[in-house]
Chains A and B, each alone.
Chain A
Amino acid sequence: RLFSVLRFESVIHEFDPYFNYRTTRFLAEKGFYDFHNWFDEMAWYPLGRIIGGTIYPGLMVTAAAFYNVLHYLNLTIDIRNMCVFLAPLFSSFTAIVTYHLTKELSNSGAGLVAAAFMAIVPGYISRSVAGSYDNEGIAIFCMLITYTLWIKSVKTGSIFWSVLCSLAYFYMVSSWGGYVFLINLIPIHVLACIVTGRFSHRIYVAYTTVYCVGTILSMQISFVGFQPVQTSEHMGALGVFGICQIVSFVAYLKSKLSAAHYAIFWQALYYLNLWVYNINVQYIFTISIAGKIAPWTGRFYSLLDPSYAKNNIPIIASVSEHQPTTWSSFYFDLQMLVFLFPENGISNFFCDLFQFQYFNHLKMFLTIPPYQVRLMLVLAPVMAVLAGIGVNHILTTFMKNLDTVVVKDKKGLESAISSFIFSTHTPMTNICINYPQISTGVVLLVSVLLSLFASHSVWVTSEAYSSPSIVLSARGGDGGRIIFDDFREAYYWLRQNTPENAKVMSWWDYGYQITAMANRTILVDNNTWNNTHISRVGQAMASTEDKAYEIMRELDVDYVLVIFGGLTGYSSDDINKFLWMVRIGGSTDRGAHIKESDYYTPTGEFRVDAEGSPVLQNCMMYKMCYYRFGQVYTEQSKPTGYDRVRNAEIGNKDFELDVLDEAYTTEHWIVRIYKVKDLDNRG
């Protein structure tokens, strides 16, 4: 998990983690109450954002707590390092918890194997590398510890463990929106126990406690608020809670009444139930009409029906995290666990039945359809646990025979093996036991598989999950690694050379980074809550200079920042994102004059060269990206102004900017910053 620190340095990755980093810094400096009441005027200028009420604070609180404890012990660690290393730290906790979880489900040997799997499964590493300071990093730990404590409380039926479980659940709620998984999974487990007749006092005590305490605790998070009693996602848990009461009440009466009385009661209950059911249905119907229960959110629908997003919500469908999973990404993220985990279903057949084993199955069932890429994260622990149990089972059974019998001579063994493999008529009782070589073979095979899994995981981590994306790297002509540090260069320039109250306009992808690293006010950021505001920025980027100037004056913009990859070949730059700016810009009333078709050639292509649409070649984004680029040679045997991402010579080379001054361009031209000119001195 520390590859990226070794290879680059201790930096925060990606985009969202920068926001988390900034808020953590605030929390560590100002304390919790200031953090809770924080109104952030540096984002979403001029609207601002209420930070305290719109985030899951678990991550920041955890990091700040560690930070304070360490400082109390006079270990003066930097807050940035705390943030960078928090996810790897928590993944080691996760491994320990996995051990305990699997131990509860099976035995300690399985626990050990599962913990080892959990430590290296790439699906989990992808979200817990150093620098990936995001909610998921600690959420998986919370999820597993809640599972563990839940199983513990079901096993013991004690209120103590149940309360601990609800505390773990509270921690989970405070750190990730994915807690909805838990609040649906546990009730389904209880329901399955009721249906299969395994409901007991222990489950009753455990579930009642966990539901009541957990729900009340979860409502303390201001971002969650009254959702647990108002939204459809949480209604299943409430329903199961009610069923629990009814079932245990009936069981109680049964134990107190004679058989004849119970029969009468049962009849009465039947009618009563009908009546109650009727009332319930009416009640639910009324309140959902009245809008008291929020309907399922779009994301939840897309979990149930995978084609929902595609047909109805393009913005959800377009996020690449929500893409469906191909078989290859399963293999990539789980490798051998893909084959190992189903066997547990069979091997359980031989075990005695315990209630909690149903839980295991359920978990498997529920997390099976991760047809969205990001859900792989939830699947990975389950796979690790199940595979751990399976591998442990194989190893323990075959290990036993490794040195029970000493083989007499080599020849005998060979003939035995050949008869074992090739012939069917030799009676072959106890060959495995008589010839430990077969056991050796199996054990060897499993060890080879395990070591392959380990090397696969290391390779995946090193190649795919360890690039911080704020520092870019590439292979040079001589095979050496070249580092592009343009982003930080530009942000640092902004920090040092602009007035403190300057407002920077950029596309929203870079909002969090600019506020965190340059400490300047921005218009839009990655928390895309206000579509019209983003649209306004999109309109400025897509308009001609004079139109854009009006918008920029209106929004008080001082600097404009664009990302340009034409010189280095960095392909996720603003020109490639430009069509989204046009689409989003044109999606509101004020941007009705921006039409996507204007930015295409008559044949419907998006081109930057001389054949490209003139509207495109005169818009702000084009001019800001390609200003002075027409005089630069980028590749041998190509004319000046050759864009290496689009592989084309740009169409509009000679132009001057009227309303902007070029303020700064980084070493590799990846970030370009422009200053918006003041109004003319006309008097």
Chain B
Amino acid sequence: ISALLVVFATVCSCKTKQEILEDKVKQLTEWSNRRTVIQMNTNKFSTYVKTKPRNYSTIVMFTALDSKRGCSVCREANDEFTILANSYRFSPAYSNSLFFVMVDFDDGSEVFQSLGLNSAPAFMHFPAKGKRKGADTYDIQRLGFHADNLAKWMSERTEVVVRIFRPPNYTGTVVLVLLFSLAGGLLYVRRNSLEFFYNKTFWSIVSIFIVLAMTSGQMWNHIRGPPYYHRNPQNGAIHYIHGSSQGQLVAETHIIMLIHGAIVAGFIMLNEAHHPKADISKRRDSILYSSDQMFYSRYGLATPKEQIPYKLHFYGYWRTCLGCFLSQLTHVHFPTKVPRLSLQLPS
């Protein structure tokens, strides 16, 4: 009887196990249909990812997306992870044996503790069978969080091969189309008098604008993509000017562009001021402008002591000098991006 009971019990538990498993998979599939990356808190995580009976594996991203955590990398990593999850969702390899899960620190700090995680973002793989191995934790330090690398790691761990499909970026095309249609529209509207096309002032203004954009480092912004401004996480102070000489913030370049624009305008007016046709108010402006300009230039070479009251302008200009000094020192040769020479001597 006891043997029967035992058999019965095991059958029973097996059944319930089976049922639990089915329930879990069903639930997870439902969630993942709603959003490819399933967001979980501590409870859900322990039931669906940690607790044993399961025939599916999960890829989990641990992250801290709340803006007050100030983790800008997490947002980028999240985008990449979503791309990976979406690519999986629409790939032929899709099945209900692999799920993508995300745990935010603010929802599941206990999970972070139990796994001994002290940095975010982190990616882990929880296999369906067996224990987790070292390689089940993705090495983000070395591999970065690019979706392609994630997919490679995933295929190593789960044998699910996914081709990353990125939603194409249409902004460039849209802007180009807009620009062309604007130009075309302008030409169409003005088709009867195309003289403006030969107008030198028009071209001058265009070229000056391009020059200003370039000299204020917009190309650098385009390539490096710095943030608009920088917020100090400790005291919340906002910096518009980059602390180091090798970088710049977008706000900073806009300020510089304005200053340069004003100075250039001053010079142009100075040039124009003496032209017989120019009216007198322009002349006055030009004189004012150019005196402005003199101040700027003076600051540019002011000694650090003098700089303090006019912090904004010269902080920029002065740092420029120092900064470029360093950057020029490193300008030659190869990867060695360390400063060429920073000697310290025995005292």
Contacts and interface: CB of A to CB of B under 8 A. Distances in A.
Interface of A: 14-16, 126, 196, 306-307, 310, 318-321, 323-333, 335-336, 338-343, 345-350, 353, 361, 364-365, 368-371, 373-374, 390, 393-394, 397-398, 420-421, 424, 428-429, 431-432, 438, 441-442, 445, 448-449, 452, 455-456, 459-460, 463-465, 467, 469, 472-477, 482, 484, 509, 526, 568-572, 576-577, 580, 596-597, 600, 603-604, 634-636, 644
21 contacts: A306-B222, A306-B223, A307-B222, A331-B300, A331-B324, A338-B215, A340-B267, A345-B204, A348-B200, A394-B271, A429-B280, A463-B325, A465-B328, A472-B341, A570-B342, A571-B342, A572-B338, A572-B341, A576-B336, A604-B142, A636-B347
9 closest A-B pairs by CB: A604-B141, A332-B324, A474-B343, A345-B204, A327-B217, A328-B320, A371-B219, A569-B344, A397-B274
Nearest to B340: A572
B24 interface: no
Interface stretch (B26-34, B103-111, B125-133, B291-299): B291-299
Given A319-B334, A442-B287, A346 B214 contact: no
B208 A345 contact: yes
Nearest to B344: A569
Nearest to A634: B346
Contacts of B245: 328
A364 B341 contact: no
Interface of B: 139, 141-142, 198, 200-201, 203-205, 207-208, 210-212, 214-217, 219-220, 222-224, 245-248, 252-253, 256, 260, 263-264, 267-268, 270-275, 280-281, 283-284, 287-288, 290-291, 293-294, 297-298, 300-301, 316-317, 319-321, 323-325, 327-347
A327 B301 contact: no
Contact of A325 (B201, B219, B300): B219
B280 A568 contact: no
Contacts of A569: 342-345
Given A328-B319, A332-B324, A484-B343, A318 B210 contact: no
Given A126-B328, A306-B223, A307-B222, A327 B284 contact: no
B123 to A, nearest CB: 15
A428 B280 contact: yes
Contacts of B301: 452, 455-456, 459
Contacts of B142: 596-597, 600, 604
A477 B283 CA distance: 55
Given A342-B207, A603-B141, A475 B345 contact: yes
Nearest to A433: B274
A330 B340 CA distance: 21
Contact of A339 (B267, B273, B317, B337): B267
A350 to B, nearest CB: 6
Given A307-B222, A319-B334, A326 B248 contact: yes
Contacts of A361: 203, 207
Given A320-B330, A327-B256, A634-B346, 17 more contacts: A324-B223, A325-B219, A329-B323, A329-B328, A339-B264, A343-B267, A432-B273, A469-B332, A473-B343, A477-B346, A568-B345, A570-B342, A571-B340, A572-B339, A577-B335, A597-B139, A600-B142
A509 B336 contact: yes
B297 A571 contact: no
Nearest to B207: A345
A292 B333 CA distance: 33
Contact of A318 (B248, B325, B335): B335
Q: Which of B200, B246, B260 has the most CB of A within 10 A?
A: B200
A20 to B, nearest CB: 14
B201 A327 contact: no
Contacts, number: 260
B343 A472 contact: yes
A464 B275 contact: no
Given A345-B204, A635-B346, A464 B333 contact: no
B331 A321 contact: yes
A373 B214 CA distance: 13
Contacts of B320: 327-329, 331-332
A420 B321 CA distance: 37
Given A330-B217, A455-B301, A569-B342, A580 B270 contact: no
Contacts of B291: 445
Contact of A467 (B139, B248, B281, B341): B341
Contact of B336 (A325, A577, A596): A577
Contacts of B215: 327, 330, 338
Contact of A464 (B253, B316, B329): B329
A339 B346 contact: no
A336 B211 CA distance: 14
B271 A320 contact: no
Contact of A398 (B263, B274, B284, B324): B274
Contacts of A463: 325
A343 B327 contact: no
B274 A320 contact: no
A460 B324 CA distance: 9
A526 B200 contact: no
A432 B274 contact: yes
Contacts of B204: 345-346, 348-349
B317 A331 contact: yes
Contacts of B324: 328-329, 331-333, 460, 464
B223 A307 contact: yes
Contacts of A394: 267, 270-271
A365 B214 CA distance: 11
Contacts of B210: 365, 368
Contacts of A420: 284, 287
Given A346-B268, A348-B200, A571-B342, A456 B207 contact: no
